[in-house]
Amino acid sequence: MPPWKLKSMRSQARGWDQAGLATALKVVAVADADVKGAADDTAYALERAVLGVSRLRRS
């Protein structure tokens, strides 16, 4: 991986711990299923995912 990509990834990873990142990936997976038909209201599923992921990031 080129050094510039590593630098970019490090800056994006700030504010995340391992547990928060794992939970955020689960939230996104549930939202993916919901948007593809598992939920009745796809717009609400997306909103719920965005709010859930944003709450998981450390300040």
What digits encode the pLDDT tens for the residues 15-50? 899 999 999 999 999 999 999 989 888 889 989 999
What does pTM read for this prediction? 0.76
Nearest to 31 by CA among 1, 13, 53: 53
For residue 57, give the nearest of 19, 8, 15, 13 by alpha carbon.
Answer: 15
At 59, the pLDDT band (50, 70, 90 cuts) reads: low
For the chain, give percent helix, strand, coil, nearest 5: 80, 0, 20
Asked whether residue 51 is assigned to any structural domain, the reply reads yes
Whether residue 3 lies inside any domain: the answer is no
Kindly calculate the radius of gyration of the chain based on its CA atoms and give it in whole angstroms.
14
**What's the pLDDT score for residue 15?**
87
| 6 belongs to a structural domain | no
Instruction: Check residue 52 and give its pLDDT.
Output: 95
Domain count along the chain: 1
Domain of residue 27: give its range. Answer: 16-56
